[in-house]
Structure 1
Amino acid sequence: MVHSNKIIHFLVLFSLISVLSCSSKNEENDVSKEEKTHADMDEEAQLMELGLQKLSAWSSHWKSVDSDFDLSAFEFSRKDTIEGIERPEELHITQGSPFYPHLKKQPDGQGVVDIYSYKIVFPEEGRPYFNPDSEVTYFRADGMRERLLFMGPSGAFEDLVWLTPEILLVVGHFEDENGVSPKAWLIYPNDGIVTQYDNSLQSKEYKRESFLLKRFTGVSLVNGL
């Protein structure tokens, strides 16, 4: 009987140690995952900051509008999945088009990204005009056209740069009842993910097509809104 009790006590003790050990390992894994997430976000923010510095024309434009504009004031806002809307369509923007100089080639030759031809419309007759909506369009090397990001009439995409072959940085603005604010999006086309960064600046004076008018100086544009 005593021998049986010892065995029972041993099994109970062994089970308790096992449970505590598993619990400890789970907690360590959770901490590790959390640290990894924070590390990834810090790395992403640093990469984005370097990318913003490359968009000097865009940052100078915003600085001229509001002296309080600060590139370091962008903060993570949200993460979403890309809609994945695509269709067969070869790149139709060729040399001689006002959009051609602003196409951004994917560093590994997997296609080009365009943020202007959806926003600015060149009709067969009449003057070019602004479409209320905007789109980040990826003309992939495999002959597919993919929508990476879409925005309605509340904002517009203004500039972009590839940070790495896997990460695209797009900047622009968004308007709400408090004013117009700069925005930044990091797009991961292969992973189907986009992260948004917001800036605390809210301008009541910002003219929504002002950067696009500078970018396409010499092209007579009519505000289509």
Structure 2
Amino acid sequence: MRYFLYTFIAVALIVVSCKDKTKKEPQAVTPPGEDSVTETLDTLLSAEAIQSFSTSGFSGYAKKKAAGFDWSKFRMVSSWQEDSMLVAAFTPDKDYFASYGPFLKYSPDSSLFIDLDSYNIDITKDSKGRLIGHEIGPDCEVSLVDVDDKTKTRLVFLGPGGSIEDATWLDNNTLVLMGVQENEKGAKTATLWRFHIPTKTYYLYEIPDTTVAGPLMGYWRTERLKNVEIK
């Protein structure tokens, strides 16, 4: 009888131990709306995201300029939550919307917009109504503006080696910045910054082939801001 009691206790302990191990197993983190793919640490863009990106002007430019460019080649290399973001009051001057309005990227419900240019380029209208732009400096900053709260939040700040070429919205809560930045080895990489607003979570995607990045730089100047005479 004592033998069966010991056997029962041993089996029970094994079952409890297995359950505890199952609970402690780490779960893969998948961006909202993304399909997780098990390839070491890589995560591919979903078919829906690729379809959305493919309709952008930047997509056609990238495929024309960089032979190896393909949205399906992007891999998620890291993700993080930003607990403290740089937020300031949004107090534009009276000419802000006349100068930058055509280039702002509004969310589907128009409650937010992405400001790609005001930090980087001083755009004004001359006496003939032409838009004239003067580059302010080598750095690049992109902000998210809340229309109702009148606040501006810094999304990305890059030094001279990087650029944000374009941006798009996947839904009212998720935006994507498209551009180039330098990796840890100093090589330029084609990069996507995907930002989920409610959770303040970034998902960083890159194309491993560093030869793709160089030809992508300059879209903002020659295409996105083609109606601005930049001096």
Give the TM-score taking structure 1 as reference length: 0.77
In 2, the alpha carbon distance for the partners of 1:65 and 1:85 equals 35
Asked if 2 retains the 8 angstrom alpha-carbon contact of 1:180 and 1:206, the reply is no
In the alignment, is residue 132 of structure 1 matched against residue 141 of structure 2?
no
Relative to structure 1, the CA distance from residue 88 to residue 18 in structure 2 (aligned partners, 3 Å threshold; closer, same or farther) is: farther
- Report which of the two structures shows the higher radius of gyration computed on alpha carbons: 1
Distance 1:175 1:153 in 2: 10
**CA pair 102-18 structure 1, distance change in 2 beyond 3 A:** farther
Does residue 167 of the first structure (1) align with residue 174 of the second (2)? yes
Task: Name 1:158's counterpart in structure 2.
Answer: 165
In structure 1, distance between residues paired with 2:213 and 2:97: 38
Helix, strand or coil: the match of 2:113? Answer: strand
SS of alignment partner, residue 117 of structure 1: coil
Q: CA deviation at 1:219?
A: 1.9
CA distance in 2, matches of 1:70, 1:29: 38
Q: Distance in 2 between matches of 1:30 and 1:216?
A: 51
Instruction: Evaluate the alpha carbon distance shift between residue 91 and residue 105 of structure 1 in structure 2; reply closer, same or farther with a 3 A threshold.
Output: farther
Structure having the higher helix fraction is 1
Distance 2:123 2:198 in 1: 31
Query: What is the SS of the residue equivalent to 1:116?
Result: coil
* Structure 1 residues 22 and 115: alpha-carbon distance in aligned structure 2, compared to 1, 3 A threshold: farther
| One-letter amino acid of the structure 1 residue matched with residue 15 of structure 2 | S
Uncovered stretches (5+) of structure 1, i.e. residues with no partner: none
How far apart in 1 are the matches of 2:91 and 2:68?
Answer: 42
1:213 corresponding residue in structure 2: 222
Structure 1's 139 and 19: CA in aligned 2 closer, same or farther, altered over 3 A? same
Correspondence 1:64-75 to 2 at 5 A: 64-75=64-75
SS in 2 for 1:200: coil
For residue 68 of structure 1, give the secondary structure of its aligned residue in structure 2: coil
Aligned partners of 2:191 and 2:205 also within 8 Å: yes
1:70-99 deviations in Å (ceiling 9; x for gaps): 1111011111233411122245574421x2
Partners of 1:39 and 1:180 in 2: CA distance: 24
> Structure 1 residues 115, 27: closer, same or farther in 2, change over 3 A?
same
SS class of match (2:45): helix
Distance 1:50 1:147 in 2: 27
Contact 2:45 2:72 in 1 (8 A): no
Answer yes or no: is the 8 Å Cα contact 1:51–1:169 preserved in 2: no
Structure 1 partner of 2:120: 119
For the residues of structure 1 that align with 2:65 and 2:158, how far apart are their CA atoms?
22
Whole-angstrom distance in 1 between the partners of 2:78 and 2:152 = 25
2:174 and 2:31 map into 1 onto residues whose CA distance is: 17
Deviation string, structure 1 residues 59-80 (Cα, Å, up to 9, x no partner): 2212222222111110111112
SS of the residue aligned with 2:18?
helix
Change (3 A) 1:108 1:128: same
Rate the CA distance shift 1:16–1:39 in 2: closer, same or farther, 3 A. farther
Q: CA RMSD in A?
A: 3.3
Q: Give the Cα separation in 1 of the matches to 2:65 and 2:101.
A: 27
Quick one: which amino acid aligns to residue 196 of structure 2?
A: Y
Residue by residue over 1:173-204, the C-alpha shift from the partner in whole angstroms, topping out at 9 and shown as x without a partner, is 12467754321111012211101000133248
Q: Distance in 2 between matches of 1:71 and 1:110?
A: 28
Asked if the contact 1:115/1:135 (under 8 Å) is kept, the reply is: yes
Q: Deviations over 1:123-149 (max 9, x none)?
A: 899961153122221111212211122
- Stretch deviating more after TM superposition (61-70 or 156-165): 61-70
